[in-house]
Amino acid sequence: MNIPDLNTKKWTQESQPAKLEEILGDGSVKCHLSPRNCVIKEGQVGFCKVRGNRNGRLVTLNYGKGVHNTQETIETEAVFHFSPGEKILSLGNIGCMLNCGYCHNWKTSQAKYVTDKDVYYYTPEQVVDSALRHGIKILSWTYNDPVVWHEFILDTAKLAKEAGLINLYKSAFFITEEAIDELLPVIDIFSISLKSSSPEYYRKVTTGWIEPVLEGIKKVYNAGKHVEISTLMVTDISDDEDSARTISKWVLDELDPSVPLHFVRFHPDYKMSNNVRTPINRLHKAKSIAQELGLRHVYLGNINDDEATNSYCYQCSSLLVTRYGLNAESIGLDKTGRCLKCGCYNNFIILEKNYSKNSINLQHLNTSSLEKKKFNWHGDIVSIHAQVTNTLDTPNTIFFRRRMRDDAHGEWECISLLAKESYRFIIAKSKPQEIGPEFLLSQGISSNLHEVFDRAHFPTEAIEDIGISMDDTTPKIGYKGKQNMYTQLIKMVNKDEN
Ligand code: SF4
């Protein structure tokens, strides 16, 4: 995308006609996008605050408006069985049909906290063009939640498919069947966050309800889409053995044993900042329960250096894919996704790789005039978003590499930018001895680094503005409201047990 026209627009000003509208006789409209089915009066907005009633018609307020598009890897989206290590272009918008107490994207998912400086404006053509130019084959609709970006996704995903791209939908999937019917022709991969198996948990923690989520998962699975399920294990609330057992049984009974299931580590955030990270032993216990019940591909998420993120053949136990954080390397799969050793199919889809890392030898380049920038991994901060902007009227290039202990380093890689182009990409720690990335920036490039807490987190504040986080377990920009949700939920859990 081009450099945004910063702060000159108010994101709520413009609207577009919305789909899934029912006009009611009294001037109000009903929205059929999420199961809330909000009835909205003239001039008002629905629960998500990004769909409203203007002149008696349902409109969307966030068409083409989102956070900065970001190059990541497919592992960021809890998708482990679709072309491991593949680059994706992550696209997030603003607003949400839920309000989960632990949301790590609350600054963009809850429309009342969105500031105009964080909103970027895109057309479907710009999104597709950016992916193609940077050698990316998958668009990922993600972050806050794609459900409330319905019209923009349908338009862009259709264009992307025509250009040979693949669409991934990462969602809590609180969505109506009518809306799913519109997504099925254009979405290829569904990564669904099944928050819990408990109806009470859904009501209290997410403000939604579980039934449409379960029905939606079955619908996309039965439509033959690639589906992966992930569950956030919230410390002392939903990281118990019973929760792991019920979710695993549901996947087994309603889907099949080859559907990948991810148990994801929680970090304190939003209305649950007064909790602690999920103890890793509880995640491992959940994984063993799921495997004992018969699930073939069970993973742990938000854990960097742990073999519970690797893929093994369920038949001969050969190592198929190694993972470290958000990096993956396929070492035991053939081109059709079968185990190289025994030929067993492990529910992998592999895209043909026609791109390679843009490695470059800088020996012949005079680097003394380039600005150098370094970042050190610390605590749980093992990935960052780098946002770079070419302010020149001519193309430009940025260079980066990984620094290791003992003055060793990886190869220089580069990203080419068009005149006035703004680009954002993730770098995630890839091995234990890696200490952090290093950048070389030509004249005319401005840059900002953003600390990422766990996967699918979109940080809005740059370390150049707020500094480096001193607390490694929760983002520096914290929610200033009440922190009582964890305390209330603990009472609920204890009451159930008594
Ligand atoms: S998408 Fe928004 S307006 Fe529509 S029903 Fe859901 S919360 Fe209400």
CATH for 98: 3.20.20.70
In a shared domain, residues 301 and 415: no
**Structure confidence at residue 485 (pLDDT):** 74
Number of domains within the chain = 3
- The CB of 150 under 6 Å from ligand 1? The reply is no
In 3D space, the residue among 425, 390, 340 whose CA is nearest the CA of residue 71 turns out to be 425
Q: Classify residue 451: in a domain, yes or no.
A: yes
Range of the domain at 317: 65-330
Q: What was the pLDDT predicted at 8?
A: 63
Whether residues 56 and 80 share a domain: the answer is: no
Asked if the structure places residue 3 within a domain, the reply is no
* Whether the CB of 36 sits within 6 Å of ligand 1: yes
- Indicate whether 418 and 313 sit together in one domain: no
200 and 227 share a domain? yes
Q: Do 175 and 297 have their domain in common?
A: yes
| 51 pocket-lining for ligand 1 (C-beta < 6 Å) | yes
Cα of 118 to ligand 1 centre, how many Å?
A: 22
Answer yes or no: do 296 and 368 share one domain.
Answer: no
- Give the distance between the most distant pair of CA atoms in the chain: 73
Residue 437 domain flag: yes
Q: In terms of Cα–Cα distance, which of 236, 217, 235 is closest to 227? A: 217
Q: Are residues 35 and 97 in the same domain?
A: no
Last residue of a domain, one of 38, 60, 82: 60
* Residue located via tokens 């198929």: 320
Whole-number Å distance, alpha carbon 190 to ligand 1 midpoint, is 21
Give me the residues of the chain with pLDDT under 70, please: 1-8, 354-358, 363-364, 483, 491-498
Q: Are 242 and 194 contained in the same domain?
A: yes
Which pLDDT score, from 0 to 100, does residue 472 have?
A: 73
Please report the pLDDT score of residue 2 as a whole number: 47
Pocket test for ligand 1, best of 112, 148, 175, 183 (most atoms within 8 A of CB): 148
User: Which of 289, 311, 330 delimits the end of a domain?
Assistant: 330
pLDDT of residue 494: 66
* Final residue of a structural domain among 36, 60, 84: 60
Say which CATH number the domain at 397 has.
Answer: 2.60.290
Q: Atom 5 in ligand 1: which residue has the minimum CA distance? A: 37
The token pair at 277 is 């990270």
Q: Does 395 map to a domain? A: yes
Is 324 part of any domain? yes
Say whether both 280 and 406 belong to one domain.
no
| Residue 97 forms part of a structural domain | yes
Same domain, 45 and 85: no
Residue 99 lies in a domain: yes
Per the domain annotation, does 303 fall within a domain?
Answer: yes
Residue 26: which residues within 8 A CB-CB, separation 6 or more?
A: none
Q: Which of 19, 21, 31, 182 to mutate to test the pocket of ligand 1 (most atoms within 8 A of CB)?
A: 31
Indicate if 97 and 151 belong to the same structural domain: yes
Residues 296 and 384 in one domain: no
* Ligand 1 atom, smallest distance to 51 CA: 3
